[in-house]
Structure 1
Amino acid sequence: MPVSAPRPCSFPTCNALVRDGSGRCDKHPRAAWVKVKPVARITGRRLQAMRAALFRRDPLCVECRRQGRAVPATQRDHVIPLAEGGLDDESNEQGLCEACHDAKSTLEAQRGRRRTSGGR
């Protein structure tokens, strides 16, 4: 006797019926979940000192300056995101304005979703 009512496979565009309650057919198994060790982030007073030093050293948004604009930097950003192997130190930081930081963060989030979903 089946465990649950047959349902379509949850993989996009697959209509195969699944009878075992897993949600996926044999052709589209779920990837094994792997716990990734998070990168240790700098926090507290050390982080605040690093932010202040960055903005003293380079007070303008790096991306706006490339486009010929002079906009103050308000966000400490990692050039290579920590999730993609970047370091949390001075060699991997830049100052961005809020608009440029939001745009860069959106692109990074999209890349992260593609990475975890297997490129779908």
Structure 2
Amino acid sequence: MDVIGISGEFLLHNKPAAVNWIEGQGKSVAFEAVIRGEIVNKVLKTSVFVLGELNMLTNLTVYAVAGSLGGFKLKTRRAQCITMMEATNGKDIHNSVTTLSIEVGTVREGTQFPSISA
């Protein structure tokens, strides 16, 4: 009997592994948004500078000290993702999220993508 392992669990689907961070798997996505300072003040009851500091302390410093493999994030459902926040023009906050290794098309309508249906 021949035993064959497809990818041999080497890619570690949806796990914070260096190979997924370096080579990716599935699709990569990056998005960004600028939130006006008055919205941050009114809705979140804080300032853009506090959010930027929070991002630096929690998403970057803590994850780096913990030895995270590509997981510098703020409440995302992905293991490998970088969340950045910084004050822009002195009053608004620029947010960006970059994530690698998204397994696209695993639920419901996702199978309509050509790469998945193939």
Q: TM-score, normalised by structure 2?
A: 0.25
More strand by share: 2
Structure with the bigger RCO (C-alpha within 8 Å, sep 6+) is 2
Q: TM-score, normalised by structure 1?
A: 0.24
Q: Over alpha carbons, which structure has the higher Rg?
A: 1
